[in-house]
Amino acid sequence: MSSDINMTKEKLTYMHTLFKALRVYFHQFLLITSALVISSGHFSYGQDAAAGEKLFKINCAACHKETDAKLVGPGLKDVAKNVPQPAEEWLIKWIKNSQAVIKSGDAYANKIYEEYNKMIMPATALTDDEIKSILAYLDNPGGSKAAGATAGGAGAPSEEVLAGEKLFKINCAACHKTTDAKLVGPGLKDIASKVPQPAEEWLIKWIKNSQSLIKSGDTYANKIYEEYNKMVMPAQALSDAEIKSILAYIANPPAENAGQGTATASTEKAAPLKKESSSQVWYFLVGLIVLFLILISVLGGVKKSLQKMVNQKNGVPEPEPVVYNTAYFLKCARNNKKLIAIILIVVVSVASRAAWNGMMGIGVYQGYAPEQPIFFSHKIHAGENGINCVYCHSGVEKSKTSNVPSANVCMNCHKGIQEGAVTGKKEIAKIYEALDYDPDKGTYGPNPKPIKWVKVHQLPEHAYFNHAQHVTVGKQECTTCHGPVAEMDTLRQFSPLTMGWCVDCHRKTEVKMEGNPYYTKLHEELKKTYGNKPITVEMMGGIECGKCHY
């Protein structure tokens, strides 16, 4: 009997030691997991040099080179070694808002600012991870190209073709396709075999100044001019080398041959692969945590069972369970009027607060982001491509409402751009369907239909709001009310747009009167009353009821 008890005690001691060790290991595991989670964002995307190359070409290549050579701005070779340390932190601040860094008194920022004749480095809407991926690409610009070459094999496009592709999309894609299909002008497939020889020399003359070539009496130039109803081919301010790279791209366009799948796979699909592997890591970590919790629970149960067995053999009585006399408690509570009053006050207060919050939320749709009939990304159009809000919402500067653009505004670009960076041809095809437009023939049919956009921002009918008053007269930015639209793929209501929110803005917002002719006389009068104090909208009667409710 004694030996059995001793053996059970040994088992219990062993299990207790194992349980403590497992608990220590679990705590260490949680610490390691936390570190992995904190850094997962960085490793999942930030160091993706292939994605960084694509982002660099979209956002930076117009002003910077990856080498030491200067363009509009400095060359970016070894940029992380040249800027203040820690370099990554400084560069993220600089790229996001260079003017803020300059105004902060940063010595290196001001040195660059002066060196480049106070030329402003535009602020970008890039995330920290996107900037990190650009820096990863700059750290080894040949790395992503080598990966692309491996993926594409012998058919990977040359540097000249890639440069030509970019120039073609900027200068030519609105009027021409690289296939036989006509757009505004003729299709450019095999163009070098159709024009007078030597083709390159003739095409350089035509692209630089077509009217000069027509006036010189060139037969082919005049034939094209007559065939396209004397439509003028605009003169292009391109160098001979740039035109040659465009011709190299037209001769072998990587975006329209089999090479596209190989040449672009490394850049366009690199990020999704990273994200997928990141999610797999998450699943693995969650699985391990669940496994540890189950193991701890089982071992805890075993420990309690062994302890109970030892207690029984040693004659140690089981602890009596605590029994609460709820009937006695309720009886005391019923007779305590003060306690009942306190409970009632608490219940009524909580219920009233909940009812008040519920009523205050009626008609407030902050965060509302409806699905639209056509997926339109403001992040791509206003953010990455830098299209001014007024280009599409042309009424915002001169009318009460900010109009939704008609489909013909979309067609200013999408006659030539028939494939999106994210959705391919799927969403742009919906614009063509609405307009009954045939992109291959470039003709419109007789059956257009409206696009049924879903309204996102809706003020009550009894509230008056004038966009022109705020944008043109008040000099307010669109982001004041609509938030960071340039970062939104699906447009959402950013602000609550409640009366309290508007009144608060009118109380705090300083009116930009200097150099604003709309306020010249009013400014003189207000100065007599308020002196040199900043003039807010409230001081001009901006919170009077009749201003918005009349």
Tell whether the model's pLDDT for residue 431 goes beyond 90.
Answer: yes
**Mean pLDDT value of segment 33-51:** 50
Angle between helical axes of 141-152 and 128-139 (0-180°, round to 10): 80
Mean pLDDT of 117-127: 73
pLDDT at 285 over 50: yes
Buried b (16+ CB within 10 A) or exposed e, 325-336: eeeeeeeeeeee
Residues shown for the chain: 550
**Alpha carbon distance, N-terminus to C-terminus of the chain:** 96
Place of tokens 């999942």: 44
The mean per-residue pLDDT over the stretch 40-46 comes to 40
- Which range is most confident: 8-17, 182-191, 217-226, 282-291? 217-226
pLDDT at 523: 79
Q: Which residue has the higher pLDDT, 320 or 372?
A: 372
Of the ranges 153-167, 411-425, 468-482, which one carries the lowest mean pLDDT score? 153-167
Question: Which pLDDT score, from 0 to 100, does residue 266 have?
Answer: 36
- Give the helix, strand, coil percentages of the chain, each rounded to 5: 60, 0, 40
Mean pLDDT, rounded, of the chain: 78
Q: Which of 90-104, 152-166, 265-279, 348-362 has the lowest mean pLDDT?
A: 265-279
Which among 211, 234, 208 has a CA at the least distance from the CA of 221?
A: 211
Domain 158-251 has CATH 2.60.40.10: no
- The token duo for 330 is 């309720």
Confidence at residue 279, expressed as pLDDT on a 0 to 100 scale: 53
Q: Please compute the mean of the pLDDT values over residues 342-362 and round it to a whole number.
A: 89
pLDDT more than 70, % of the chain:
80
Among 95, 161, 143, 104, smallest CA distance to 123 is for 95
Given a contact cutoff of 8 angstroms between Cβ atoms, the answer to whether 443 and 436 are in contact is no
Is the pLDDT at 398 greater than 60? The verdict is yes
Is residue 493 predicted with pLDDT exceeding 90? yes
CB 445 within 8 A of CB 438: yes
Q: What is the pLDDT of residue 150?
A: 40
Amino acid at position 102, single letter: I
Q: Which residue has the tokens 């291959």?
A: 440
Instruction: Look at 59 and 115; give whichever has higher pLDDT.
Output: 115
What single DSSP character describes residue 192? Answer: G
Distance from C-alpha of 69 to C-alpha of 159, rounded to nearest angstrom = 17
Q: In DSSP terms, which residues pair with 437 in a beta bridge?
A: 444
Q: Is the pLDDT of residue 24 over 50?
A: yes
Per-residue pLDDT at 156: 59
> Where is mean pLDDT largest: 169-183, 340-354, 506-520?
340-354
385-393: Cβ within 8 A, 24+ apart: 389/478, 389/485
Where is pLDDT greater, at 126 or 216? 216
- Architecture of the domain made up of 1-155+261-323: Orthogonal Bundle (1.10)
Whether this model's pTM surpasses 0.85: no
Per-residue confidence (pLDDT) for residue 453, from 0 to 100: 93
- The pLDDT tens digits of the residues spanning 517-532 come to 877 788 778 888 888 8
**Sorting pLDDT into bands at 50, 70 and 90, what band is 322?**
low
The answer to whether the beta carbons of residues 92 and 131 sit under 8 Å apart is yes
- pLDDT above 60 (res 265): no
Average pLDDT, stretch 192-220? 85
Dihedral (Cα; 54, 58, 64, 67), 10-degree rounding: 20
User: Residue 50 pLDDT more than 80?
Assistant: no
The rounded distance, in Å, linking the Cα atoms of 96 and 520 is 35
Q: In a 3-state reduction of DSSP, which class is residue 444?
A: strand
Cα 474 from Cα 467, distance rounded (Å): 10
Tokens representing 461?
């009918």
Q: How confident is the model at residue 80 (pLDDT cuts 50, 70, 90)?
A: confident
The model's confidence at residue 128, banded by pLDDT at 50, 70 and 90, is confident
pLDDT for the residue 161: 80
- Please compute the mean of the pLDDT values over residues 470-495 and round it to a whole number: 91
* CA 232/CA 211 separation, integer angstroms: 7
